[in-house]
Structure 1
Amino acid sequence: MRDWMILCDFDGTIAVDDVTDALLTSFAASEWMRIEADWHAGRIGSRECMTAQVALIDASQQAVDALLDTMIIDPAFPAFVAEAARMDMSVTVVSDGLDYAIRRILAGYGLDYLPIRANRLLHDGDRGWSLQSPFASPGCASASGTCKCRVARDQATTLLIGDGPSDFCLAGTADYVFAKDRLIKHCRTTGIPHSSIANLRDARALLPRLPGLAGIPAAFSQNLPLRRQMV
């Protein structure tokens, strides 16, 4: 079997809800919604959007931590990581979200040892917050803070697991895709080989079949039956 690197999105894929939106809803001035509308309308890129939104957060470290500690992940993710390790596949969390939030949430499940590639959330020690994007790329098609194509560039064989627009570009170059939600429609529209999943239980069930799935043409890969498996 080829050595697979699994690049897994966080918000909406590992995390049940969008963690960044939860932080903004709870702690940011309402201006964040106008900035969000500009992003949806294509007037600004994802990186510009999130940088401006994070700057609007007014909260103590303790308040942010308390909210993050209420966020839950897909209950199948720990078993998925264990199955990947059993198959000698590495898992990296690749997100256009916030590294601090991802790490704290995963720590609650004993999974904060996983590599994380995401925007860097910085705290000023009082109530202010800012964003840095160490994995941005000047040529990123979606102007994301985390260019997932850049992260994947040096990986020989890549499985992408994702659900939304931040995954669209990488979906076109990854060796195979497990797609949720909006990413399913994108893969079908653009003819990208993929398997549709509802959750990470489905993804775990498909892992043993990955070598064969990666060789199936796009026209036959859109509606593969899923073998349900308890976690």
Structure 2
Amino acid sequence: MTLNPMIFCDFDGTITENDNIVAIMKKFAPPEWEEIKDDILSQRISIKKGVGQFFRLLPAELKEEMTTFILNDAKIREGFGEFVSYTKRNGLDLVVVSGGMDFFVHPLLKGYNLPVYCNEAKFNEEKIRVEWPHTCDEQCSNECGCCKPSILREIGEGHYKIVIGDSITDLQAAKQADLVIARDFLQQKCEELNLPYQSFETFHDVIRILEQNEVKV
């Protein structure tokens, strides 16, 4: 492999077994969140618009209750700790790129010592407001929120780009990746669009795929 690898790993539904934003909505949001979710998945509205609408349904006073709930509810996918150790041992750059919110992403990843790109939830108004520190560059007009393809272009240039993910938020990044490791909705979209991918369920599978593809520095 002539280019040094860089691994871009999704968080919700990938590092964690469940989508944490969906878990929060199911627990705390009024029923109209379901229609917003359907609009996002069908690509009738952008991810940025939909996720912003999600959190505007929630009172800011729920911050502590939501944080406690998600830290107790979220489960890290099997093998993730071993995967992180594997990347560090082999000198592989691993970056977490998440459409999730800082108030749960950072606590759940505490101790892994990884660079993280995610959105920021603000609790200084009546309803929760989302800020987007990693918006789309001039090559992307999809209103991604946390724009994974823009991050790939910004820091992945000159690298062998590996994308690990599970959802619609990973699709545009997968289109510019050299290797896609997918499950669930992203896997379905890769099949629909004839994008090459390899499937995983645990991070033990991811390690095996990296070894089979001779991903090394």
TM-score w.r.t. structure 2 length? 0.87
Partner of 2:50: 49
For 1:69, which of 62, 68, 71 is the aligned residue?
71
> Superposed, which structure 2 residues align to 1:127-138 within 5 Å?
128-137=127-136
> Superposed, which structure 2 residues align to 1:131-210 within 5 Å?
131-137=130-136, 139-140=139-140, 142-153=142-153, 154-155=155-156, 156-210=159-213
- Give how far 1:75 is off: 2.5
Give me the whole-angstrom Cα distance separating, in 1, the residues matched to 2:9 and 2:115.
Answer: 11
SS, match of residue 60 in structure 1: helix
SS, match of residue 6 in structure 1: strand
- Give how far 1:140 is off: 3.1
SS, match of residue 211 in structure 1: coil
Contact 1:180/1:199 (8 A) holds in 2: no
Residues 51-75 of structure 1 show CA distances to partners (whole Å, capped at 9, x for unaligned) of 1111111243321221122111102
Contact 2:136/2:142 (8 A) holds in 1: no
- Residue 21 in structure 1 maps to residue 43 in structure 2: no
What letter matches 2:145 in structure 1? G
Contact 2:41/2:168 (8 A) holds in 1: no
Partner of 2:120: 120
What letter matches 1:42 in structure 2? Q
Partner of 2:90: 87
- Give how far 1:95 is off: 1.5
Give me the whole-angstrom Cα distance separating, in 1, the residues matched to 2:192 and 2:39.
Answer: 25
In structure 2, do the counterparts of structure 1 residues 179 and 141 end up closer, same or farther at CA, with 3 Å as the change threshold?
Answer: farther
SS, match of residue 192 in structure 2: helix
Q: Give me the identity figure in percent.
A: 28
Higher mean displacement: 135-144 or 39-48? 135-144
Higher mean displacement: 85-94 or 50-59? 50-59
In structure 2, do the counterparts of structure 1 residues 141 and 197 end up closer, same or farther at CA, with 3 Å as the change threshold?
Answer: farther
Structure 1, unpaired ranges of 5+: 213-231
In structure 2, do the counterparts of structure 1 residues 199 and 132 end up closer, same or farther at CA, with 3 Å as the change threshold?
Answer: same
Give me the whole-angstrom Cα distance separating, in 2, the residues matched to 1:142 and 1:199.
Answer: 30
Give me the whole-angstrom Cα distance separating, in 2, the residues matched to 1:74 and 1:203.
Answer: 11
Partner of 1:35: 36
SS, match of residue 158 in structure 1: strand
